[in-house]
Amino acid sequence: MMLETDLSKLARWAIPGWVAILSFYGFMTIDILFSKPNGPHLFPTVKEFFGSMTTIDTALMAILVAAAGVPIGFLIYQGYFFLRWNSVFSTHGFLSPIFPGRLEDIKKAIGDLSNKELGNGSEWRERIINSTEFEQDHGIKWRYLELLFTEAAQKIDSKYRGVSIYSRHRYLMEVMHTLGSSIVAIYLGFGCYFLIKNQLEVISFLYHIILTSTCVFLLFLFLNFENHRKKSISNEETSESAKIKQPIIIVDSPASVFLFSFAIFLFFLHPIINQNYGGFVLFIRVFISLIMIIVWTISKENSNKAVRFGIIFPGVFIITLLVILRFFPLILPKDLDWPFIVSLFVFLIGNIILFQNRDNTVKDMSGLEYYTLRRLLSDEDYQNIEKYTFTNDFTEFDI
């Protein structure tokens, strides 16, 4: 059991390191594959990038990469925990979901539980909860709730032998932190690729920084808009006056629309993908793009017309704009760094996947925490928390 736990922790530390290493090699490979034959190259071929290695050299490199993942992953975790716990964005966050803030996570776990309920009739607990530090310091607040949740989980698990809330919560917490540190890792991999590209190709550093920053900012601005929209929907009025005020177009998933537009942009204009094709092939590409929009719209059949129109309108608009750009290429800036743009697109895709998966894990974990606390503090069988006798053995609660 101990060996299995140690291996699990080792893998958790190593995964972010491996993500950073593999993402770096991935971005480098994408850049090489999507470089124009007569344009600048990081390396002439992918084979030359990896080098002509013998079987022994390949095996040795695989071992070194696997071993390097542990210390790199450990350092990434330290940066991740600093951002989550001690940075200026830790308490209230910034441009969620980049830094959602610890207080926001705590609110999800507490739900509608009052301070009186969290005190559970205990004088020393209420003294902690009603203190100024408890309200202002997210660290104190989280540690108290963490310990209270651990007690609640152990009580339920002790009474119902087939239940393991504690293990489920620990698993979700490990997944959440692994995904969070992997986000830091993919930024590290992209940053290393960016520096290598700047050194080998002598690119316009400022231009690439502005392009990357703008795309990342837009992605998270749209994700933040989605989060606020979901909250507003949950509190939405159902009166007839509220329905009348509803806008004609609602872009329900602006981050997805943004990435879809980015993908269509590459599909229509990237020189490697679009070499020497005529009007018929352009028609086929327009047809495929429209089919994708139709399928996406059909998947929203339970949504109102404004949401479905919010997919159709921007989709058709971007396709029309790209067809115009195809016939008038001079409108585009000259000498676009197409390989870098493809790598940037993949980087943004990695961002949205990791952030959305982490957000779903946080919701699952917060829901489990709220359920456990609500059940303990509301169920008469579990009142008088101080006098309960535990019958199970539990390992260290690890965050």
User: 356-378: per-residue pLDDT in tens?
Assistant: 899 899 889 999 998 888 887 77
Q: Lowest-confidence range among 53-67, 230-244, 354-368, 375-389?
A: 230-244
Mean pLDDT, the chain, integer: 79
pLDDT score recorded for residue 334 = 65
pLDDT at 214: 93
Read off the pLDDT of each residue in 273-289 and give the average, rounded to a whole number: 76
Tell me, what DSSP letter sits at residue 116?
A: H
Q: What is the pLDDT of residue 1?
A: 45
CA distances from 337 to 32, 39, 198, 208 (A): 12, 9, 12, 9
Taking only the tens place, the pLDDT of each residue in 5-55 is 556 667 778 889 999 999 999 999 998 888 877 767 777 777 777 765 555
Instruction: Note the pLDDT of residue 346.
Output: 95
pLDDT category of residue 194 using cuts at 50, 70 and 90: very high
In this predicted model, what pLDDT tens digit does every residue of 336-347 receive, in sequence order? 788 999 999 999
**270: helix, strand or coil:** coil
Q: Up-side HSE of residue 194: CA atoms within 13 Å toward CB?
A: 19
**374 or 57: whose pLDDT is higher?**
374
Cα within 13 Å of Cα(63), Cβ side = 6
The mean pLDDT of 269-281, rounded to a whole number, is 71
Which distant-in-sequence residues (6+ apart) come within 8 Å of 72 by Cβ?
Answer: 16, 17, 20, 21
Q: Closest Cα to residue 289, out of 320, 250, 258? A: 320
pLDDT in tens, 117-172: 888 777 888 888 888 878 777 888 888 888 888 888 888 888 777 778 888 888 89
Q: Which residues are paired to 154 by β-bridges?
A: none
- The pLDDT of 238-267, averaged and rounded, is 73
What is the rounded average pLDDT of the residues 106-112?
83
- The mean-pLDDT minimum among 254-258, 327-331, 391-395 falls in 391-395
Q: Say which amino acid occupies 183.
A: I
pTM: 0.82
Q: Vertex 57, ends 53 and 59: CA angle to 5°?
A: 120
Least confident of 28-32, 160-164, 274-278, 284-288: 274-278
**Cβ atoms of residues 32 and 45 within 8 Å:** yes
Looking at the chain, the whole-number percentage of residues with pLDDT higher than 90 is 17
Q: What is the pLDDT of residues 300-317, one digit of tens each?
A: 777 777 777 778 888 888
* Between residues 64 and 222, the one the model is more confident about: 222
Which residue in this structure is represented by tokens 């949950």? 234
CA gap 18, 26 in Å, rounded? 12
Q: Smallest Cα–Cα separation from 23: which of 59, 60, 76, 63?
A: 76
Beta strands in the chain (DSSP E): none
Choice among 61-65, 247-251, 378-382 with the minimum mean pLDDT: 378-382
